[in-house]
């Protein structure tokens, strides 16, 4: 079971004043990345409340869930993949994935962010049941990006030149060696989201 992730952050970064701070020292009374979510979501309180509920159901810190959605869509529930993959939504649902959940990408695109969170849960829960519990931010992100890479070692390759998939994801190739592997994904998340990256699952 995941303890309250805001509590964990507080314990890690409390500066002695009783005010929660993040890794760079900015005060925060909101869930990680809530300010970014506000660019596309009007009801951020309702949205983050639902994120926290679903994170609890998935047994992951809510910060992890916020991070992977931000990485995929910047919280724009109606956004389509700009590279033409056909993916849409908070975690960039592919048409085949949407169909497997009994919904279309067009229908997903017209849902509110809170409504679409139900499908985020369905997708992530199915991958949890198939591949096991999520044990890190990287593991959760791999469930969206390339589920078969979950639980693999850092050298496992997701995409390689000259494939179209590599071209679409070349920005994740941290060492520019023509391959995107698990290590690249881990480095990418650690660099861009150190606060969420450092939060761990704590069992009672």
User: Which pLDDT score is estimated for 56?
Assistant: 97
**Three-class SS of residue 73?**
helix
Q: What are the φ/ψ torsions at residue 5 (nearest 5 degrees)?
A: -65, -30
Quick check: 74 and 36 in contact, CB under 8 A?
A: yes
User: Which pLDDT score is estimated for 83?
Assistant: 75
Spell out the per-residue pLDDT of the chain, length 204, in tens. Answer: 333 333 233 223 333 333 333 433 334 579 999 999 999 999 999 999 999 999 999 999 999 999 999 999 999 999 998 776 789 999 999 999 999 999 999 999 999 999 999 999 999 999 999 999 999 999 999 999 999 999 999 999 999 999 999 998 999 999 999 999 999 999 999 999 999 999 988 644
User: Which pLDDT score is estimated for 28?
Assistant: 53
Q: What are the φ/ψ torsions at residue 188 (nearest 5 degrees)?
A: -60, -45
User: Which pLDDT score is estimated for 81?
Assistant: 85
Reference 80, options 120, 48, 108, 114; nearest CA is 108
Query: Residue 105 CA to chain centroid, in angstroms?
Result: 19
User: Which pLDDT score is estimated for 15?
Assistant: 34
């Amino acid at each position: 079971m995941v303890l309250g992730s805001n509590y964990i952050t507080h314990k890690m970064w409390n500066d002695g004043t009783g005010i929660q701070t993040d890794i760079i020292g900015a005060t925060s009374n909101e869930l990680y990345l809530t300010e970014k979510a506000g660019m596309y979501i009007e009801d951020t309180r309702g949205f983050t409340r639902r994120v926290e509920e679903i994170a609890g159901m998935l047994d992951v810190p809510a910060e992890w869930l916020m991070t992977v959605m931000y990485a995929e869509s910047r919280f724009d529930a109606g956004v389509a993949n700009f590279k033409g993959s056909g993916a849409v939504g908070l975690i960039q649902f592919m048409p085949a994935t949407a169909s497997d959940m009994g919904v279309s990408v067009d229908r997903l695109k017209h849902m509110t962010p809170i409504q679409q969170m139900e499908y985020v849960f369905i997708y992530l829960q199915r991958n949890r049941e198939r591949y096991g519990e999520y044990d890190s931010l990287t593991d959760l992100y791999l469930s969206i990006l390339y589920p078969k890479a979950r639980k693999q070692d850092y050298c496992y390759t997701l995409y390689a030149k000259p494939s179209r998939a590599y071209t679409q994801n070349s920005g994740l190739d941290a060492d520019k060696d023509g391959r995107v592997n698990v290590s690249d994904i881990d480095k990418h998340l650690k660099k861009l989201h150190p606060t969420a990256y450092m939060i761990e699952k704590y069992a009672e």
